[in-house]
Structure 1
């Protein structure tokens, strides 16, 4: 059976946009909600080092790529570099004298180093799994738009832009994986990516919950209160991670491809908006 690929008419466009994220210095920038702010700040802290891993994972296989996929890989790397830059600026705006930012960043670097130590294929498999998570951002953002009703517009726009571009390039690393594993059997490919997704999903969600709890403890929550509040936010109300479950589970279908979930209609309005901003 021929492996699926991304739509031929899909264009990946790096948009070099700068966002004013100084509002993050004010504390609970997500509608004044300390729990939601802690979760989103924790996610932001994972992006600079994580996206450098993604870039290097795809870059390692560029000599095997040609045609549209070679261009898509180049544009993927450009997009991720800009995302890393903007989240680095958001992360710098956090109050490091109050919040355990350096502690969390050290933990993230340790996890990234473990992935890198396994060589290019482990890096690529980690990337395709984590890209499946970030690809959910556009749908999750749309589902949780009410969370940002009182958030400063420039910070909200930064997250919307990032979510849209992650969805736009959600299959690039996966298509590179299909090329890199072209000599594998379908079962071998399915087993490797499925096992990796189970392990990464467990550790990624647990780590986000743990680090966000540390952030809340700095706001005066007890460890027990912090863990309960983050767990509720992620899995009950507003169920930030849980609402993406129907997309997450499609990963385990034989013959899965990220564009089986075609959400280009959802992205179209955002793309038009940010294309105009990038052109200014």
Structure 2
């Protein structure tokens, strides 16, 4: 799917006219392009350990979908750039981080990180699809983007976990990753949102 955003027609606070909601979703989007590429790398790095034909087919679908998600959120992040937010700068910084992590962190740990983050995205996807209030007031263009992303996340939510179970299997590595990611993902999202709000002249709350 290719979303062609009419940037001139979009309001700055596209989520119900609410600065807090709009900047929160923007902070999430900043992390998606390189995050999706990390997911693809970590699953692909363990593909040779998988013999189940069905799971191999799911891996191919997973990689294709995540590549599309990264592309579309990069387009969304360009819109954030026009608002004066450092979205592309953060994306470039995260790319360097991804390359560094792939070089120095063991592949099994990176796959565990992917499992943890995919768990978060599955929770968010369920909320977007099952709770009408989650998208109420969103600009229609962006509502379609988030609902499309949520549907595909739901489709492949178990792929990274299934690969991990077959290729690695360690409970403790996975739990350690989940604890760390819970802290880091929350902290990064909050920090990015605070930067966006600060750019708009707010301190903590709009």
Common fold: TM-score over 0.5: yes
Q: Which moved more, 1:23-32 or 1:158-167?
A: 23-32
1:120 Cα deviation (Å)? 1.6
For residue 136 of structure 1, give the secondary structure of its aligned residue in structure 2: helix
Alignment partner for residue 51 of structure 1, among 36, 45, 67?
A: 36
- The alignment covers a number of residue pairs equal to 203
1:96 Cα deviation (Å)? 4.2
**2:30 matched to 1:20?**
no
Instruction: Name the structure 2 match of 1:190.
Output: 171
Indicate how the Cα distance of structure 1 residues 121 and 208 shifts in structure 2: closer, same or farther if over 3 A, else same. same
Q: Which has the larger radius of gyration?
A: 1
Question: What do residues 72-112 of structure 1 show as CA deviations (whole Å, max 9, x unaligned)?
Answer: 00110001011111111111122346222244334533543
Q: Which consecutive residues of structure 2, in runs of 5 or more, have no partner in the other structure?
A: none
What's the TM-score once normalised by structure 2's chain length? Answer: 0.89
For residue 217 of structure 1, give the secondary structure of its aligned residue in structure 2: helix
Counterparts of residues 43-192 of structure 1 (less than 5 Å): 43-66=28-51, 67-96=53-82, 98-109=84-95, 111-116=97-102, 117-142=104-129, 144-181=131-168, 189-192=170-173
Q: Which consecutive residues of structure 1, in runs of 5 or more, have no partner in the other structure?
A: 1-16, 183-188, 230-280
Instruction: Name the structure 2 match of 1:219.
Output: 200
Q: Distance in 1 between matches of 2:99 and 2:193?
A: 21
Aligned residues of 1:25 and 1:94 also touching (Cα < 8 A): no
Counterparts of residues 194-209 of structure 1 (less than 5 Å): 194-209=175-190
**RMSD of aligned residue pairs (Cα, Å):** 2.0
Aligned residues of 2:32 and 2:73 also touching (Cα < 8 A): yes
Instruction: Name the structure 2 match of 1:39.
Output: 24
What's the TM-score once normalised by structure 1's chain length? Answer: 0.67
For residue 32 of structure 1, give the secondary structure of its aligned residue in structure 2: coil
Where do 4+ consecutive residues of structure 1 move more than 4 Å? none
For residue 29 of structure 1, give the secondary structure of its aligned residue in structure 2: coil
Question: What do residues 152-175 of structure 1 show as CA deviations (whole Å, max 9, x unaligned)?
Answer: 222101101111111110110111
